[in-house]
Structure 1
């Protein structure tokens, strides 16, 4: 008898109930999800989202989730504590807190989350939207991560977990020729072929290189706050992802994301506030 191999993403967000009380879980943050000086913010949000989904069995899907990043997470054990604030017919709301033990043995909070959960499968209905999916060349005509600058791969181990194909029109920064339009877009799927689902969309919202690269500002851009709104469960296949910014001021910038599934439906939107990369 063979044992099915779980996706690296499923391993990355796996949680074990902690003895002694409901709503507390233990996990392990893998080094393969690092970017810059810490674990990717989207992966952390997915860990918190997973914990909250376990607390709301009738409402398995995050509908709106916001995370505040309080300190940089490191590879290693993590503890997630959750609290159900309200349970309703169509939505339930809860909080989650991710903590790690530092070198002095103190518990340090890394992420605080507030989220509402529902059932995206029950929310299917008429769609009224003026939004349009980005026009991208086919994936085989886009730029894969095998062509990424070595310095990018060195500071973003998580890119090895992705099959990411960027639109050639938005990767001039890789050649030292950023467009300065503040836009990066492309195709996304996991390298191991796992199909997308609502929890994966939380990762995808923070998966592309920071849009500051396209402003001529390479380097780590740590997230301060990230909010994701989920609109539908994605169908299997490629996701089209757009990251853009319109304002960088005072050392911080906003990054908006749209995620479209292979059926052409807008399945998630997000906005984050991040710190601009510091000059080398």
Structure 2
């Protein structure tokens, strides 16, 4: 795999924000990070995360909560941020992404409230019962780019190096397990190392857990909260997704991201609309 450094990758270029005035940023949402022609929610969260990282006095996302108000599409957008509070160890801000509307106005796509801090300044004390997901070695997992995918545009997959646990891809050949789980090794396709910002993409980059329930199709996120727990060590990440309850046309999806040092580096929960397939 080719290796590019943080700052030089496609992910960095296509999450770049351009300051227009204090707290306001211009951005172009890339068509390369779409699912069924809609901008992926994790990519969009990373774009907003980059703007907040510039606007706030602390560098790293710690807790990020997003409400997805309407589907984002590739093209120009504006991010408006506001500093809510600036403390010694944490600062909190909010941000919204707007895109042009057909009537000449603007439509809000996502609204985010986030707390930022310094991951390198956190204490080392760790007490956990969490364990890394049981995933076969990377060479025994299935390259998602080479396997069958549901009909539609999945440009996002070209930017990722996903190696899926064979036990969680039965849905791709019409044999979902019914357990509602997904597990995979995760890298960016160009080899860029993971960092706190890219973890906001990682938590929403695997095929939805609903696919393992036999439901395929667009699974739009309604709300997503991500917690970044520490700076990831070099090497591929392991990601596990699970849902326990689909009811009323919605399901929750819990994600855990583990690094090569067996540390839980990010967690998330989202509420999504269930696909109709």
State the TM-score, normalizing by the size of structure 1: 0.94
Q: Which residues of structure 1 form unaligned runs of 5+?
A: none
Counterpart residue number, 1:80: 79
Distance 2:145 2:67 in 1: 32
Counterpart residue number, 2:49: 49
Answer whether contact 1:23 1:55 (CA < 8 A) is retained.
yes
Counterpart residue number, 1:273: 271
Distance 1:188 1:221, change over 3 A: same
Distance 1:68 1:211 in 2: 20
- Superposed CA RMSD in Å reads 1.3
Counterpart residue number, 1:38: 38
Answer whether contact 1:226 1:273 (CA < 8 A) is retained.
yes
Distance 2:37 2:246 in 1: 21
1:174 to 172, 175, 193: 172
Does residue 216 of the first structure (1) align with residue 214 of the second (2)?
yes
Distance 1:186 1:171 in 2: 10
Counterpart residue number, 1:11: 13
SS at match of 1:146: helix
Alignment of 1:1-280 (within 5 A): 6-18=8-20, 21-57=21-57, 59-151=58-150, 154-279=152-277
Answer whether contact 1:124 1:232 (CA < 8 A) is retained.
no
Shift of residue 148, structure 1, vs aligned partner: 2.5
1:78-102 superposed Cα distances (whole Å, 9 cap, x missing partner): 1000000100000000000000002
Answer whether contact 2:145 2:162 (CA < 8 A) is retained.
no
Distance 1:188 1:106 in 2: 39
Q: Which residues of structure 2 form unaligned runs of 5+?
A: none
Distance 1:146 1:51, change over 3 A: closer
Distance 1:263 1:177 in 2: 33
- Count, aligned residues: 272
Distance 1:223 1:131 in 2: 25
Shift of residue 146, structure 1, vs aligned partner: 3.1
Distance 2:79 2:222 in 1: 19
Shift of residue 11, structure 1, vs aligned partner: 1.3
Shift of residue 155, structure 1, vs aligned partner: 2.6
Shift of residue 37, structure 1, vs aligned partner: 4.4
SS at match of 2:150: helix
Distance 1:251 1:228 in 2: 22
Answer whether contact 2:150 2:172 (CA < 8 A) is retained.
no
Shift of residue 77, structure 1, vs aligned partner: 0.5
SS at match of 1:81: strand
Distance 1:71 1:230 in 2: 25
Answer whether contact 1:82 1:96 (CA < 8 A) is retained.
yes
Moved >3 Å (runs of 4+): none
State the TM-score, normalizing by the size of structure 2: 0.95
Distance 1:148 1:184 in 2: 15
